[in-house]
Amino acid sequence: MGRWRMNVSTMMFLVILQGATVVLFCGWYFQFSPCNNPANQNHKVHVLLLSSWRSGSSFLGQVFSQHPSVFYLMEPGWHIWRNLQKPKNMLQIILRDVFRDLFRCEFSGLEAFMPPRSNVSNVFMWSHSRALCSPPACPLTPRGDLSDEHRCSKRCNVSGLKGMESSCKSYSHIVLKEVRFFDLESLYPLLQDPNLDLRIIHLVRDPRAVMRSREESFSALAYDNSIMVDRRAMPPADLQFEVIKKICRSHVLMIERAMLKPQPFLEGRYKLVRYEDLVHNPIGMINDIYQFVGLDLTRKVGEWIYQVTHGKGIGSKSQAFKITSRDAVDVSKAWRTTFPFAKIKRVQELCYGAMKMIGYRPVNNDKDLKNLGIELLAPLEPYEFIWLPSKAGQTADKTKEK
């Protein structure tokens, strides 16, 4: 009997030893094997780059697009706005539902707003996405390299959208840039979806600079302008001011919802970024933005950021979405020497609340406007989060707002 007990003890020891060996081996394997690449795991981070037209979002979009861990699409909402004759508030709901599918790498919803049997080249600004110029969508650009939009547009016209889907599923971060959301409430279902890990980056720019840039790109924005004013006919000058008023109002509403009285599910999911801060300290700001979404700044992307923000080129009026190498700080201030004070004054009147909230100082005369030594960017004061109480407390708060 004693011998039998010894055998059982020995067997138990061997089983425990074998189990420990398996655990140690698995821990080593998953730590160092390629299978541990976040892009190959189920968990994904979903990023919505939220902005308005002519606010620097194309540049920030490229900051994400060029990262080797990111699948990026630029303004997929363009297709919905172009193909549905609906009021703007209804378009936002449809757009949100399409974005839910896109974040899940399901493209049938977007395909419904595209021509039959569409190719990748039918997707709005598709060649601005490095992921669509890289395997498995296209063999042109290795994942670790930076893409070239011009070369991609000539050599990566992938048939169908299946290549898009398989490409999307192979990345750890899915980033969608959009300028057609105007309130946070319409996005609440995405923020509460347990299958999404959504982070919102809200990019804003001085409305006076936005207005100047919009005037230079008036023809490219004509269709969107029409939707913004509910397709009402009005003189071009009045139309521009009406649109900038709506844009400023939307910024105020979103910042209030996100930073002054946020819902609990917004905690850690919203980040406000000013374009002016971005161009004055691009590497520092982008490092901060990357950390917010769980990315590391690679050497190649860092070098690319420096080159495109420290160049000598000038912008092109005919290429509203073209990213070129320019001195970004000079570009951010150019409106002060080219925009009439009368128009500046009108924008300041229409956007007073937004400018005060975001930290853009007004100018009182043409002399101060053109004096670039006068700083018009105030420090962005950190807002203290005030979490709304649940249920009854929310009802009471809404009553106060009314």
CA distance 130 to 275: 23
Predicted structure pTM score: 0.82
Q: Which residue has the higher pLDDT, 335 or 401?
A: 335
Q: What is the pLDDT of residue 33?
A: 34
| CATH class of domain segment(s) 38-370 | alpha beta
Angle at 72 between CA 56 and CA 287, to 5 degrees: 60
pLDDT band at 291 (very low <50, low <70, confident <90, very high): very high
Please give the single-letter amino acid code of residue 398. Answer: K
Q: How many CB atoms lie within 10 A of CB 104?
A: 18
CA distance 204 to 350: 16
Burial of residue 381, with CB atoms counted within 10 A of its CB: 0-12 exposed, 13-18 middle, 19 or more buried:
exposed
pLDDT band at 331 (very low <50, low <70, confident <90, very high): confident
Domain residue extents for the chain: 38-370
pLDDT in tens, 193-247: 999 999 999 999 999 999 999 998 888 899 999 999 988 999 988 999 999 999 9
Angle at 274 between CA 268 and CA 280, to 5 degrees: 120
Q: 166: which residues sit within 8 A by CB, 6+ positions away?
A: 136, 137
CA distance 347 to 38: 45
What are the φ and ψ backbone dihedral angles of 250, each rounded to 5 degrees? -65, -35
pLDDT band at 18 (very low <50, low <70, confident <90, very high): low
pLDDT in tens, 116-175: 888 888 999 999 999 999 999 899 999 989 999 999 999 887 677 888 899 999 999 999
- Six token digits for residue 198: 């959504």
pLDDT higher than threshold 80 for residue 368: yes
pLDDT higher than threshold 80 for residue 392: no
| CA nearest to 121, candidates 83, 90, 80, 152 | 152
pLDDT in tens, 67-117: 999 999 999 999 999 998 888 888 999 999 999 999 999 999 999 999 888
pLDDT higher than threshold 70 for residue 335: yes
Q: Of all residues in the chain, what percent carry a pLDDT higher than 90?
A: 63
